[in-house]
Structure 1
Amino acid sequence: MHKINYMYKNDTPARTPPLVDQAFAQLRRDVLNGTYSAGAKLKLDELQATYGFSSSPLREALSRLAQEGLIRADERRGFRVAAVSAEDLADITRMRVMLDVQALRESIAHGDDAWEALVVGAFHRLEKVEARLSEGPVVLDQGWTDVHTAFHMALISASPSERLRTWSASLFDQAERYRRYSARFRKTFKHKSSEHRKLMDATLRRDADTACALLEEHILSTQRNVLAVLSKVEQTPGN
């Protein structure tokens, strides 16, 4: 069984991240949150005023975001937030099905007891947060995003391929932008606890075929839900 190294908290004082990493994290968060609308131009002077960073770390942060596909770079026009479209979502979804499902299958094959505990703990935190969400209009906040991401990343964390885990995480975040976008137009929150529990249970049983089928359907259902919202937005007068 492949040995996986897990990160645990210790008493070592946390170091302040480099300015580039700070700028990247803040910009990335705001792009995912929809602070900047799809297609919006990201002007360097305005970003400097907003975040308090000099141009150098901001340019590097923007370049890294462009590599992730969250923004687009144009030598003449600068940087813009990536557009939102059914075609882009379909491409993200296709790649997620290819990579995430394989990463989960590898995780099930190689994960140890510590990995199982990580998955259970991540699901518990997600379930607690979702239980506090009302049935009325809701905007998915950063707290939900963090625990939702942590659960899905825990599932694939025992894959021995670092590249596979990294690419899956990047695609997950690109899909997250669509989830957050569509949530702004929904009247109620779509509780996913039952889906996540079934996915966790199959994973812990080491039933790779069932777990992978559930994950694929979970990814495809996200696409369907977002497409339904995109269709309604396009049909709304003024859009």
Structure 2
Amino acid sequence: MTLSDTVYERLRTDIVQGRFPPLQPLRLEQLKRDYGVGFSPLREALNRLQGERLVVSAAQRGFRVRSLSVAEMWDAVNSRILIEAEALRLSIDQGGDDWEATLVASFHALSLIVQRLGTGAADGADTAALEELERRHREFHLALISACGSTWLLDFAAKLNTETERYRVLALRCATLRRERDVGAEHRAILDAALARDPERAADLLDAHYRETGHFLEQVLQDAGTAAS
């Protein structure tokens, strides 16, 4: 991994995890001090992040973190449904024993940390625990589609996952998380449908799961006052 790759990964994580909030300017001088690198790898990393829609730039004003909005959140959620529902159907059709084993293991790992944190996410949980929860959540959803056989679908899915992760992290840090939703049961239902080799049921459950998440994230954005008009 090159120095530019390392800076890119660190910046990307810090943006997704909310250490740099939406609309915050990303000053090269400050980033140089914070990350201990020169301007060249920083500019390269920021340009890559701009291509991923995590940062934006303007003439004479430099880079800043991209804003969060209800409209863009729903665009990402709906796009994930289109991409991942088809990738899940293909995975169910093509996945073998190794795919099933990876899927079951990723679900188990996610379930363990959910149990430790409480119902989905515990208020006051430390940053490291919430980051681990999000990592295992991401790995479960990527495991579902990992046998689709299409690098394009997997690439699109990974980018959309990153985009929606910014919103999920905001929700995890929100003190007013709804308790009535059983996300674990939703994940279990998707898993069971996938293992039963029922592609249409699995895709429908994934669709419903993402739409329910979208409605929740919309509420969080509105409560946090970050929704765009």
User: Would the aligned equivalents of 2:130 and 2:172 in 1 still touch at CA under 8 Å?
Assistant: no
* Corresponding residue number in structure 1 for 2:52: 68
Length-normalised TM-score, structure 2: 0.90
SS in 2 for 1:132: helix
> Are residues 1:206 and 2:214 paired?
no
* Corresponding residue number in structure 2 for 1:224: 215
Give 1:188 deviation, angstroms: 4.2
CA distance in 1, matches of 2:147, 2:124: 33
Give 1:138 deviation, angstroms: 4.1
* Corresponding residue number in structure 1 for 2:224: 233
Matches within 5 A, 1:1-239: 17-134=1-118, 136-138=122-124, 141-188=130-177, 191-234=182-225
| Greater helix proportion | 2
Query: AA paired with 1:206?
Result: R
User: Would the aligned equivalents of 2:102 and 2:143 in 1 still touch at CA under 8 Å?
Assistant: yes
Question: Identity over the aligned pairs, expressed in percent?
Answer: 36
More deviation, 211-220/71-80: 71-80
Give 1:26 deviation, angstroms: 0.6
Query: AA paired with 1:79?
Result: F
User: Would the aligned equivalents of 1:96 and 1:171 in 2 still touch at CA under 8 Å?
Assistant: yes
Which residues of structure 1 form unaligned runs of 5+? 1-16
Q: How big is each residue's C-alpha offset from its partner over 1:34-58, in whole Å with a ceiling of 9 and x where there is no partner?
A: 0011011111111111111211111
CA distance in 2, matches of 1:104, 1:78: 40
Residues matched between the structures, number: 219
Which residues of structure 2 form unaligned runs of 5+? none
CA distance in 2, matches of 1:185, 1:148: 18
Q: 1:126 to 1:189 in 2, by over 3 A?
A: farther
Give 1:189 deviation, angstroms: 6.9
Spell out structure 1 runs of 4+ moving beyond 4 A: 188-191
